[in-house]
Every structure is written in C-alpha cells, then in structure tokens.
Amino acid sequence: MFVDIAKIYIKAGDGGDGAVAFHREKYVAAGGPDGGDGGRGGNVVFQADTNISTLADFRYKRKYVAQKGENGKGDRKRGKNAPDLIVKVPLGTLVKDANTGRIIADISTKEPVTVAKGGKGGWGNPHFATPTRQVPRFAKPGLPGEEFEVTLELKLLADVGLVGFPNVGKSTLVSVVSEAKPEIANYHFTTITPVLGVVSMGEGSSFVMADIPGLIEGAWQGVGLGHQFLRHVERCRMLVHIVDISGSDGRDPYEDFKIINSELEKFNPELAKRPMIVAGNKCDMCTDEQIADYRKYIEDMGYDFFPIMAAIRYDVDPLLKKIQEMLSKLPPIERYEPEPEPVVKAEDFSDHSVKVTKVDGIYNVEGKWLYNIMRSVNFDDYESMNYFQNVMMNNGVFDALREAGIEEGDTVSLYDVEFDFVE
C-alpha cells in the first residue's frame, strides 16, 4: 500500500545525571568532590533512504525515542554521549510540527537532519564546590531531550509531472519512455500509486517523470484519489497535461482540459502558474480536422501542443525534446526551507511555574522543573538542603505557597518529601 502521510512521536534522549563522588586515595586526605558530568542524550536524526518509497513503515511504529546519556562517574569521568537515533524516510519527505504545521525539515537530499536535540548532561558535584561549601553532596540531573509529534508528508521529487483524467495514457507514456513498468489496463484508476520513471535523453542528460494518478473533478476536495496525490505535483518543475482527444470514453476533451486545470488551481494556486505543455493522446482515433481544431484551442491559450500515440510511441520524441528544452531553462526542483520557530518571550524560555493544591490540610507543590531538581538533592545533607531551599526561594515557590494561604507550621508535600513550612 502506498502511504504518503504519517504522524509519529519523537523524543530525543535525556542527558545523563551528574555524579556525586569524592576522591579517595591512599595518603591523600580530604580529596574533595570528583563526580563526573553526565553525557549528552541522543538526537533524533532524519535521513533519506533511496530504498524506501513510501511511509508505510510508520503506520506500524509510531514512537521513536533516542537513548539517554550515560550518568557521570567518580574520578571526574564524564558519562558517554548516547548515539543518535537515525530515522530513515523516503527522499522528498517533509517533517512538520503536528500541532502547528510548521515545516521543520525537508529531507530532499541525503544529508542527515537533526530534528530533535538530546538533552545536555548534568553537572557533577565538583561544579558546586565553593570556599564555604567544600563537600557538596548533590549534583545536577541531565536535561530532558526535546519531544513532540511530527507529521511526515511525502512529496515526490520529479522534474515532470503527468496530469490528466484516468485512462488517458499517462502510465503508457511513462512505460514507453523509461524503464518504469506501471500496471496498464483499459479501466479507470488502474494506477493507484505515483510512478516515477527516468527518461534518458542521451549521454549525461536525463530527467525524472512522474505519473500522478487519480485526478478527476473534485480531486482537490478528496474525490477519487486526487487529494491524496495532488501534493506530489507541487515539487514538479513543469507539467505535461495528457488529454484523450479522441473522447474514446465518451468524454469531452475540451471540458476535461478545463476541469483538470481548475483542480490544480484549487488545490494550490501556484500550480496554475507552473510551466505546462499539452499532449493529445490517441490521435490515431481522430480526424486531421479534430486534431487541428484542438491544436488551435490549446495554442490560443498559450500552450504548446503535441499530438501523440503513446502506445506505439508515435511522435513522442518531439514531446520529449520540448520537455528537455524547457527544463534546461527552469530552476531546480523546489526545496522547502525550514520555517523558524515562533518568537518566544524571554520569560518563557524557562518555565519555573508550580502548581499548589491543598488537600486535607497539606499543601502539595508540583512542577516538572522542581521534580528534576529534587532528583539531585540529598535530603540527608545540610548543605544540599540549603541549596534546594535557595532554589525554591529564588524561583518563587515560597511566594506561591504564601499566595495559597499557607501559615507557619503547615505541612508542605513535594512529591514524596514532606516538611513543615517555616518563615
């Protein structure tokens, strides 16, 4: 099954915790703190893999979590950095923030792209040694890695996109000008996945052609298969609109041309401005007068027209030469630039807010940052407790308790730690 959009959760690794350790060596008294820093958590890195053509694998695995950095050790040994988590995706995949739609990365080259950064390792206890605090019995925990949901959206990388109603000969044209072998049959929606073919135009010259399936009236609203695959047209440098000018399916080739162009414009107005030429297929079933009338209709609108018989490759070469000529003057395949993150106010860079609730006379204090700090505190050590008290005072925890109505002697609960409030 062809899958070109998926939603997954990614989390970079947390940093390793700093170590609390003291130097111990024979004949060396009071060696001092020597806990090492924690290692960096692993990044989540996206990389293109040309052996993958769909996002189907992400239907079954939706959670990608990188490893945590190694904790620090004694003798000032720093913990190892965790390896990056490499997520392989098809070439042409857009990575977007699932909540905002912001483009984070365009995986359109083989260069790896870091999407979520691992957390920094925590400091070991030597960082907290001062002339008055010579035996710090606490260290910093590692910082958490970035985590969020992303939407993966595949937009195929092709120079030329073939558009038109089903059963007009798009797949046939791809099959006769390239090594691609799409399924071909005399019924609508034979092709249900985009087909890419490399068209060789001589030594050192080639281009990629894509058969975009499923375009019918209402495609931009999701009718047929069109809404699913219209996104693949967006990267194409130019379009070739194939029309069955014989009307062999009982259709009107004049009306068909208008409908497909309208669908492209409704989906993305920029597509209406994309360079385009028109190929009139099945011309063997038309009179010379019909071909001449249709040529005039197309050329009056400013498009080049090429009558062809794709099944036997009749007059296909002039069409290919025109495509090659136009591509030589067009810019390269579109690459989407990452969009900047929303501007964040300075006070929002570090959220040190806490939630205070009173239950059965006990004031419960909660805050993610507070929980991380508590992991580093040795509550049996006087200096460590002083450090923790200063952190709470400087970050407004005591003010929040006072606003909640706490009085001296009341009990405060910080997760599993309880103490009496003293002014």
Angle between helix axes 316-327 and 170-177 (nearest 10 degrees) is: 80
Of 233, 110, 94, whose CA–CA distance to 153 is shortest?
94
Of 240, 314, 245, whose CA–CA distance to 282 is shortest?
245
- Tens of pLDDT, residue by residue, the chain (423 residues): 456 789 999 999 999 999 988 888 777 666 788 999 999 999 999 999 988 878 888 988 999 999 999 999 988 999 999 999 999 998 889 999 999 899 999 998 899 999 999 999 999 989 888 887 788 888 888 888 999 999 998 887 889 988 888 888 888 898 888 876 655 445 444 444 677 888 888 877 889 888 877 565 554 344 444 455 677 778 889 999 999 998 877 788 999 899 888 888 888 888 888 899 999 999 988 899 999 999 999 999 999 999 999 989 999 999 999 999 999 999 888 788 888 776 544 344 356 778 888 888 888 888 877 777 776 676 767 777 777 888 888 888 888 888 888 888 888 888 777 888 877
Q: Are 187 and 276 part of one and the same domain?
A: yes
The DSSP bridge pattern shows strands 5-11 and 238-244 to be unpaired
Q: Are 296 and 357 part of one and the same domain?
A: no
Q: pTM for the full model?
A: 0.69
Composition of the chain by helix, strand, coil, percent to 5: 25, 25, 50
| The last residue of a domain, from among 154, 176, 205 | 154
Contacts 24+ apart (CB under 8 A), 218-227: 218/263, 219/263, 219/267, 220/263, 220/266, 220/267, 224/166, 224/189, 225/189, 225/192, 226/263, 227/267
In a domain, 341, yes or no: no
How large is the greatest C-alpha to C-alpha distance in the chain, in angstroms? Answer: 108
Alpha carbon 54 to chain centroid distance?
Answer: 14
In a domain, 57, yes or no: yes
The residues that bridge with 277 in the sheet, in sequence order, are 240
**Residue 215 sits in a domain of what CATH number?**
3.40.50.300
By the 8 A CB rule, do 85 and 45 touch? Answer: yes
**Residue 390 sits in a domain of what CATH number?**
3.30.300.350
Q: Are 233 and 321 part of one and the same domain?
A: yes
Place of tokens 């090659």: 324
In a domain, 345, yes or no: no
| The last residue of a domain, from among 122, 154, 186 | 154
Tell me how many domains the chain contains: 3
DSSP 141-209: PPPPPPEEEEEEEE----SEEEE-STTSSHHHHHHHHSS------SSTT---S-EEEEEE-STT-EEEE
Strands (E), 228-331: 238-244, 276-281, 305-307
Angle between helix axes 288-300 and 253-267 (nearest 10 degrees) is: 30
242 SS3 class: strand
Q: Which domain holds residue 274?
A: 160-327
| The last residue of a domain, from among 104, 123, 154 | 154
Q: Are 225 and 97 part of one and the same domain?
A: no
Q: Are 170 and 215 part of one and the same domain?
A: yes
By the 8 A CB rule, do 96 and 329 touch? Answer: no
Q: Are 229 and 314 part of one and the same domain?
A: yes
